Amino acid sequence: MAEAAPAGAEGGEGVVPSPRRRPDIDTPDPADSPRKGASNISTSTSSFEAGVQHDPNLNRLAVNMFTKTEQYLQGELDAVLGEYHLLTEMNRRTEAKYREMRDTGRETQTAIELLNAKYLELEPCLRQLEEVDRSLAKLESAAIQLDSYSKQLENRCRALGSR
What does the pLDDT look like over 58-104, one tens digit per residue?
Answer: 999 999 999 999 999 999 999 999 999 999 999 999 999 999 999 99
Band (pLDDT 50/70/90 cuts) for residue 1 is: very low
Query: Distance (Å, rounded) from C-alpha 96 to C-alpha 75?
Result: 31
Whole-number pLDDT of residue 39 = 47
Cβ-in-10-Å burial (0-12, 13-18, 19+) of 90 comes to exposed
- Over pLDDT 70: what percentage of the chain? 68
Contact residues for 12 (Cβ-Cβ < 8 A; gap 6+): 5
pLDDT at residue 36 greater than cutoff 60: no
The mean pLDDT value for 133-147 works out to 95
| Structural element, H or E, at residue 151 | helix 56-161
Whole-number pLDDT of residue 128 = 95
**Dihedral (Cα; 69, 75, 81, 83), 10-degree rounding:** -130
Whole-number pLDDT of residue 163 = 72
Higher-scoring residue by pLDDT: 103, 23: 103
Higher-scoring residue by pLDDT: 147, 17: 147
Query: Distance (Å, rounded) from C-alpha 23 to C-alpha 21?
Result: 6
**Dihedral (Cα; 140, 145, 150, 156), 10-degree rounding:** 160
Band (pLDDT 50/70/90 cuts) for residue 38 is: very low
Query: Distance (Å, rounded) from C-alpha 34 to C-alpha 135?
Result: 121
The mean pLDDT value for 112-141 works out to 96
Lowest mean pLDDT among 27-41, 60-74, 79-93, 138-152: 27-41
pLDDT at residue 5 greater than cutoff 80: no
Whole-number pLDDT of residue 54 = 74
Instruction: Kindly report whether the global pTM for this prediction surpasses the value 0.75.
Output: no
CA distances from 136 to 84, 118, 123, 133, 139 (A): 72, 26, 20, 5, 5
Q: What is the largest CA-CA distance in the chain?
A: 180
